[in-house]
Chains A and B, each alone.
Chain A
Amino acid sequence: MNMIDKKLHTKRGVSRRQMLAGSAGLTFAFAFMPAMDGIEALAQGAAGKLNAYVTIGRDGAITIMTPAPEMGQGVNTVLPLIIAEELDADWSKVKVEQAPVNAAYNHPVFRAQYQVASLTTRGYWMPLRTAGAQARRVLLDAAATKWNVPVEELTTEPSTVVHAASNRKMSYGEIASFAVVSDKLPEIKPEQLKPAAQFRLLGKDVPRIDIADKSRGDQKYASDVQVPGMLYGTIVRAPARGSGPVSFNRDEIKMQPGVVDAVAFDHAIGIVAQTVPQLFEARHKVKATWKDVKGSKIDSDRDMKEFLAVVRDTSKKGVVVRKTGEAEPALAGAAKVISGEFTSPYVYHAQMEPMSCTASVTADGVEVWAGTQWPTKSVEEAAKAAGTTPDKVKFHTLQMGGGYGRRAFVEYVTDAVLLSKAVGKPVKMIQSREDDIRVGRFRPMSAQKVDVGLDADGKVVAWRHRLAAEPVAPYVYSQARLDADKGVDLIVIYGADMPFYDVPAHVTEHLYEDRGARVAAYRGIGAGYTNLANEAMIDEIALASGKDPFEFRLALLKDPRAKNIITRVAEMADWKRKRTDGRALGMAFSKLGLPPVGFSMIGTVAEISADRVTGKIKVHNMWSVADVGLPLQPNNVAAQIEGAMIYGLGGALKENISIKDGAVEQSNFHDYEVMRMSDVPQIQVEVVRSGDIPLPVGELGIGVAAPAVANAFLALTGKRLRDLPFSPERVQATLKA
């Protein structure tokens, strides 16, 4: 998020369209190669032409390159679909190919092939529409020349150019057999793009291209790669970040059956074996001593107490992240102050495919197979590890078995390359689930304190939000990046701002607690905990003044889209019907985006009950209404919202990583519990359209789960849950308090 924030904020005054279409330096590539079928054209084309989005064969087959990696969110359907829409392609004739790693396919905001912040579709939207429209225009011009008619008289039907005046038609394949493309591609102005009302493919729920393969076991992931002569390797990292081995029982490990080699790297121990069972057997026998580093002392229980002390002590000042008006004096002058503290532990991505990557280092360079959210960085890191240059890296971007931010770290690519280099053979690096958790890269632990000032009439006059947590940006990017962003670490603090509520004076402070933990961006980033604080406080203010939480939100929200979605979700949940059967309702609002990108929004109601003996919360129903701008694939948008709500519920009810003496205490899904089918409520999602721009979707559902449940619990019991996760022990303790 930081990168976008910086890029977009330093370009104030530049219109949204210019930025996202990339007129300021974006080199989006498009090449149209007529008179040759695709493969031939690619083989004969100049190097620059390899970066084509669209190729049309004489047989009418259309190949569309998809520039972004796929981690489950359906971008490898929707991105080609955007091109096909503007090209007016017959979708049944379209074949999608994963684009190589090349600057021509860079995301316009990130200037890299990089997938974070739910911005893939939003970012590529204008470049891909333009690419599709350019291809169509080339076809129209060629047909106009052939028929000797003005191009303005031509229209298109799917994969066909039509001249209605003379009742003539020509297929795209026919045109491809004679069309000549000049070096200069036709310029497409935004107003020449197809109006949304004329879309044939977008908004129509075209089936995803990957579903059949994924239902037959045919989808290939990095861990499925098979290379002749391949060995298996794994990496044993130090428990703490930045540490490495002092010594380990190398002789003993090398003697284990099937072990080819065991190597100490600066950062870890590498093992290579003939088979996976042999590899994991040997890995279990590793005994190592590790360098003492800052993170070796982490004790999450103790640290949380210290974080809380820091947020309570207002003499300690943090980095001011967001500021509207003057909250401090307004708070000092308030008639009443309502305060709340909230805590959130480290949590683990728990992507279903443990880290895996295959690499083959040869004298000529290195070949790599990986699923990654950051292909561009993966190539750079592979080159570095192999001791070569990026042009000598042959990189295969594969489907990820879950990402959620975890695969924006690409250290597993480095690991695979180092292992292959060490043994001089191709190596498939596989991490066990235990290692995947033990050295996971977690959402940072946090403590928050919110103080809300009210005037004599109960109106909100000031809002102060203080958050103590490990910074993430220096670790994900660099300290220089954080410094350049004036110390604002949006990955940690995201969601603490409240642009849609009528709060005249608001300040958010991040108090850095640099403990050396392995932290990362995580689905929803800060919103997973900051929005608990925000939305829980909204309910507390409402109840303090005897108001209904829905009516109170409706009055305090100033944005018409926000008002619309919470009104609609209240209807869906039958909010006014008081539940009498030991259940209660709770509401939450959340948003995703940044000012230059635009915000998507979600309103959610949860219906829960709580077993007062066992302390177990049961979520029976969840209703959500999501305004995502223009939903390009509405059913898939709903699927993403459902999935994110469930992911968020895991954080709300179950998930917890504890660290003691620098070592993670959890090891597998028995002690790091995630949502299972029996935990999942009935879910209804309604997707609302507003405007003509597809807004961020993938992480939108994360922020609402915890506050909706906590607010329902407050309505049910009169008690406030403040500490994630709302485990049975916490619920019991809260009920007794």
Chain B
Amino acid sequence: MAAISFTINGKAASVEAEPESALLWAVREQLKLTGTKFGCGSGLCGACTVHIDGQPVRSCQTAMSKVAGRKVTTIEGLSDTGQHPLQKAWVAEQVPQCGYCQSGQIMQAAALLATTKQPTREQIVEHMDGNICRCGTYPRIVRAIERAAKEA
């Protein structure tokens, strides 16, 4: 175990963790930010997506040793008010069903809109294809991203 310091949602944090252990578990179980979900543990479903220095990463595949000194953003830190354009669009399009994958979907989508203000549908699909939604909310996710891009 080692103390690893980094920034989470704009605040300094330090957690005791094995350097090779996954960021996901430090975020969920130590920092108690449970919006980030465990889905597959293998980087195959996207439920654990967070941003590190603005880039979307799978926190289940990110070793704590790689996080030291960096800026981590989770769904809880995407917007102070929960009113990120994507979150508003998610409500407007009534996207979630069970909701379990949606934090990861929104974090993945937020990274797209940060670099591509007006993505085409093809760009959206390509960018989002690593995020699984078993309830099948994909058509509404696409519509919500398009809405957020338009209204942002």
Contact = CB atoms under 8 A, between A and B. Distances in A.
A719 B126 CA distance: 32
A270 interface: no
A73 B97 contact: yes
Interface stretch (A192-200, A346-354, A483-491): A346-354
Nearest to A350: B134
Nearest to A205: B94
A188 interface: no
Contacts of B29: 226, 232, 275-276
A516 interface: no
A698 to B, nearest CB: 10
A352 B100 contact: yes
A216 B87 contact: yes
Interface size on A, as a range, is: 35 or more
Interface in A642-660: 642-647
B91 A207 contact: yes
Interface in A262-292: 275-277, 280
B101 A352 contact: yes
Among B18, B91, B98, B129, the one with the most A-chain Cβ atoms within 10 Å of its Cβ is B98
Interface residues of B, number: 58
A682 B125 CA distance: 12
A602 to B, nearest CB: 15
Interface in A579-617: none
A401 B87 contact: no
Given A402-B100, A402-B135, A276 B94 contact: no
Contacts of B141: 677
A644 B41 CA distance: 26
A73 B137 CA distance: 12
Contacts of A213: 99
Interface in B76-135: 76, 82, 86-87, 90-91, 94-103, 106, 124-126, 128-135
A98 interface: no
A646 B134 CA distance: 9
A646 B138 contact: yes
Contacts, number: 172
A351 B39 CA distance: 9
Nearest to A208: B94
A211 interface: yes
B97 A639 contact: yes
Contact of B96 (A215, A226, A647, A680): A215
Contacts of B28: 224
Contact of B99 (A72, A276, A678): A72
B56 to A, nearest CB: 15
A326 to B, nearest CB: 42
Given A214-B102, A351-B134, A639-B97, A668 B140 contact: no
A218 interface: yes
A399 B98 contact: yes
Contacts of B136: 642-647, 675, 680
A696 interface: no
A674 interface: yes
Given A275-B25, A646-B138, A669-B132, A639 B102 contact: no
B21 interface: yes
B8 interface: no
Interface in A625-648: 635-636, 639-640, 642-647
A669 B42 contact: yes
A403 B98 contact: yes
A392 B82 CA distance: 39
A215 B90 contact: yes
A354 B32 CA distance: 19
Interface in B2-34: 17-18, 21-22, 25, 28-29, 32-34
A392 B117 CA distance: 55
B59 interface: no
Interface in A314-353: 350-353
Interface string A239-277: 000000000000000000000000000000000000111
A207 B58 CA distance: 31
Contacts of A674: 132, 134
Instruction: Output the residue of B25, B76, B130 with the most chain A CB within 10 A.
Output: B25
A732 to B, nearest CB: 24
B25 A401 contact: no
Contacts of A25: none
Interface in B48-79: 74-76
A451 interface: no
Contacts of A128: none
Given A210-B96, A216-B35, A352-B39, A277 B134 contact: no
A72 B98 contact: yes
Contacts of A73: 97
B25 A276 contact: yes
Nearest to A216: B82
Contact of B44 (A71, A214, A670): A670
A433 interface: yes
Contacts of B99: 72, 210, 213-214, 219, 399, 401
Nearest to B89: A215
A683 interface: yes
A711 interface: no
B40 interface: yes
A546 interface: no
Given A220-B34, A668-B42, A212 B91 contact: yes
A216 B76 contact: yes
Given A216-B87, A401-B98, A676-B129, A352 B47 contact: yes
Contacts of B76: 216-217
Contacts of B101: 352
20 contacts: A208-B94, A211-B94, A213-B99, A215-B106, A216-B75, A217-B36, A218-B82, A219-B99, A223-B34, A223-B37, A275-B29, A276-B25, A352-B47, A352-B98, A352-B100, A352-B134, A432-B41, A642-B139, A646-B136, A668-B41
9 smallest beta-carbon distances between A and B, as pairs: A217-B35, A646-B136, A72-B98, A214-B99, A401-B100, A217-B75, A643-B136, A72-B97, A224-B34
Interface of A: 71-74, 207-208, 210-221, 223-224, 226, 232, 275-277, 280, 350-354, 399-404, 430, 432-434, 635-636, 639-640, 642-647, 668-670, 674-678, 680, 682-683
Given A72-B98, A674-B132, 15 more contacts: A207-B91, A210-B99, A211-B90, A211-B94, A213-B99, A215-B106, A353-B38, A401-B37, A639-B97, A647-B134, A669-B40, A677-B125, A677-B141, A680-B138, A682-B139
